[in-house]
Amino acid sequence: MQELTHRWEPPAGTEVLFAPGSPFELAEEDVLGTRLTVFKQRYPNLRAQLQAVVERSPDAPHLVFPDRGLELTFADTAASVARIAHVLAGHGVGKGDVVGFAAANVPAYAVAWFATVCSGAIVSSLNGWWTPSELAYGVELTGPKVIVADARRLERLREVGLPDGVVLVDEVELEALLGPARDDDPALPEAPIAEDDPAIILFTSGTTGRPKGATISHRQFVHCAQSAILGGAMGFVLNPPPADAPPRPQPSTLCVSPLFHVSGALPLSISTATGQKMVFPPVGKWDEVTHLQLTQDHHVGAWSGVPTQFWRLLEHPRFDEFDTTSVVTIGGGGAVFAPELFKLAARKMPWARFGVGYGMSETLGSGSRLGGVTMDTHPASVGAVEPLCEIQIRGADDQPVPDGEVGEICIRGACVFLGYWNNPEATAEALDADRWYRTGDFGRFTDGVLQLESRMRDLIIRGGENVYPIEIENRLVEHDAIAQACVVGVPHHQLGQEVAAVVVLHEGAELDADGVRAWVGEALAAYKVPAHVTFRDDLPYNATGKVLKNKVEEELTAELPS
């Protein structure tokens, strides 16, 4: 009988990595009531992970902000973390309390993030692109004692007002605390932190149109970092460098993703496990030339991003002006990568290894990974099961189905979240009694490789950001002139998809496309504003009264310029 649960198996030749007492020794342990395979030798929490890298590499660069002339070593980071944790404690923040963050990727955000989790408190990752009303919802849901914000977000928060007792802290005040260790520095916090204590809340859109707060534990962060390091170790064992190879430089990466997003928070945490230098571009819109220039100036070894960014980098007319030979790994997620993008990367950067993952905020990006030989044999897939993950494909009866059949992708492992913050109903829908996470995405396994058939119904993935149409549709029909609205995703070469809206006006009403966009933009973030607006007399419905979104999408895709 076919095994219906897909599990990762260590590759032949890597047995030495898993020997008793080795860094990647495996064990079966109880995790929140479920027996799972975990790394036996692991840090108990993120604070211990930070303390360990300070002991190993105190003087190695850690957080680098070139435009501000700021470079913090790991020892500097720890000292700065202790100072900010002391300030937070002065505002009443202790173990289990929530600290909100609403800012761009400024230095104080990165350090105060560590200060919060090292205190046993919980980061509430408020989306910096949200409008005032969206920020107010995030604050209401997570109930922070303190919110660290930059000038732009401070203005939005003050516009909507905050509950009594919430302390607003300007990131500029905290930036003054960053720097090398001093004799009068406080010690790092000593509050006990259990592995399954919450570390941060990552907001992820829901089909009801309201963001949910995925609660991520210390265990998840530690596990995912160790899994990432294992990937590099297996590559080293299977393809060892020549004996005369030069010493390997300090690993380094460009942090181009916002820290409120899984693709920003995860690398920040991993940096303390790998001893990695993180280079931050200037605050503002991501720019290809700046990315290339920083890569050259800082000999960046790893790029991480979404397909949109890689298309724009590799197709940029000035790409060949910059030295990118330091980049040895390129990775990302957030959307399916087109095989044509892999081919382009192989032509432009043949020295770099490409690997992309399938996961979500709830699993800290873990699930499956596409790379190596699988990228050549199954380039349109999302790869094989990641280390220590389990994946099932389940049918309509919630039971696993055989390979080749399409069903809902379910993931289990130490990478799976605790649940949705203050939302037991959504948690019960997403996690079953054995801690299988129902992703809502659909796929099938062939030859041990996961093929993604469709994202959650109606989901639009624009430049790596999840956009749920119902939230935009709800906003549209609030307009006095709009009778009906349908929002779908249409293909875009670089972004993957763009938001398109079909609008039916009330009889006699007048409204143009700019007016539609302005209306949406007043309440929702810019990436949710429709790039395309089409007016029609009616929408197509099926016999049960549901809009035929597939038909709308097909028609718009055919009508709009390619």
463 conformational bin, left if phi > 0, alpha if psi -120 to 50, beta if neither: left
pLDDT in tens, 493-502: 888 899 999 9
Same domain, 340 and 362: yes
- Asked if residue 118 is part of any domain, the answer here is yes
Identify the band that residue 557 occupies on the pLDDT scale cut at 50, 70 and 90: confident
Residues 6 or more apart in contact with residue 290 via CB below 8 angstroms:
281, 282
Partners of 488 in beta bridges: 500
| Beta-bridge partner residues of 259 | none
- Is the distance from CB of 384 to CB of 452 less than 8 angstroms? no
CA distance 179 to 132: 33
- Mean pLDDT rounded to a whole number for the chain: 92
163 and 269 fall within a common domain: no
Handedness of CA 514, 516, 521, 526 (dihedral sign): negative
Beta strand ranges found along 430-550 (DSSP E): 437-446, 449-454, 460-462, 465-467, 482-492, 496-505, 532-535
Mark whether 258 and 392 lie in a shared domain. yes
Per the structure, the complete domain to which residue 56 belongs is given by 46-65+73-216
Task: Assess whether 198 and 257 both reside in one domain.
Answer: no
Question: In the block, which residue shows the tokens 């920083």?
Answer: 294
Return the CA Rg of the chain.
24
**pLDDT over threshold 80, residue 130:** yes
295 and 181 inside one domain: no
Are 450 and 464 part of one and the same domain? no
The CATH number for 474's domain is 3.30.300.30
Q: What's the rounded mean pLDDT across residues 428-452? A: 93
Q: What was the pLDDT predicted at 2? A: 62
Is residue 129 domain-shared with residue 27, that is, in the same domain?
Answer: no
- Is the pLDDT score of 185 beyond 60? yes
Contact (CB, 8 A) for 534 and 500: yes
Q: In this structure, is residue 415 part of a structural domain? A: yes
How remote is the C-alpha of 520 from its chain's centroid?
25
Q: Final residue of a domain: which of 422, 454, 486?
A: 454
Number of domains forming the structure of the chain = 3
Q: Are 492 and 532 in contact (CB under 8 A)?
A: no
**Residue 325 resides in a domain:** yes
Contacts of 478 (CB under 8 A, 6+ apart): none
Average pLDDT of the segment spanning 134-145: 96
Give the residue, 559 or 254, on which the prediction is more confident: 254
H or E element in which residue 64 lies:
strand 61-65
Please report whether residue 235 resides in a domain: no
Same-domain status, 281 and 426: yes
**pLDDT tens-place string over residues 450-497:** 988 765 567 788 887 878 787 888 789 889 999 888 999 998 888 889
Write the pLDDT tens digit of every residue in 326-378.
999 998 876 667 778 888 999 999 999 988 889 999 999 999 998 887 888 88
Alpha helices in 143-260 (DSSP H): 151-160, 171-175, 218-238
Residues 55 and 26 in one domain: no
Q: Which residues, other chains included, contact 417 with Cβ-Cβ below 8 Å and sequence gap of 6+?
A: 214, 215, 216, 217, 220, 361, 362, 363, 364, 437
Q: What is the CATH number of the domain that holds 95?
A: 3.40.50.980
pLDDT in tens, 149-177: 999 999 999 999 899 999 999 999 999 99
Task: Report the pLDDT value the prediction gives residue 243, as an integer from 0 to 100.
Answer: 78
Mean pLDDT in residue range 502-522: 94
Sheet strands (E) in 276-414: 277-279, 302-305, 329-332, 353-358, 368-371, 384-385, 390-394, 407-412
Q: Which of 191, 216, 241 is the last residue of a domain?
A: 216
d(CA 179, CA 534): 53
Q: Is 136 left (phi over 0), alpha (psi -120 to 50) or beta?
A: alpha
| Residue 61: pLDDT band with limits 50, 70, 90 | very high
270 pLDDT band, cuts 50/70/90, is: very high
Cβ–Cβ < 8 Å for 42, 222: yes
| 198, two tokens | 């919450």
CATH of the domain at 26: 3.40.50.12780
Assigned domain for 231 exists: no
Give pLDDT tens digits for 225-251: 999 999 989 988 988 888 777 788 899
Instruction: For helices 132-142 and 151-160, give the axis angle rounded to 10 degrees.
Output: 80
Q: What percent of the chain has pLDDT over 70?
A: 96
Which of 420, 454, 488 is at the close of a domain?
454
Instruction: Let me know if residue 39 belongs to a domain.
Output: no
Q: Please compute the mean of the pLDDT values over residues 399-411 and round it to a whole number.
A: 93
pLDDT (average), residues 295-309:
91
Q: How confident is the model at residue 207 (pLDDT cuts 50, 70, 90)?
A: very low
Residue 238 lies in a domain: no
Q: Is residue 549 scored above 90 in pLDDT? A: no
Q: What is the mean pLDDT of residues 55-77?
A: 97
Residue with tokens 């649940």: 419
Are residues 410 and 316 part of one domain?
yes
Domain assignment of residue 236, yes or no = no
Looking at the fold, whether 490 and 447 belong to one and the same domain comes out as no
Pair (320, 412) in one structural domain: yes
Select from 102, 88, 224 the least CA-distant residue to 159.
102
Closest among 490, 496, 487 to 461, alpha carbons compared: 496
Kindly tell me if the per-residue pLDDT of 545 is higher than 70.
no
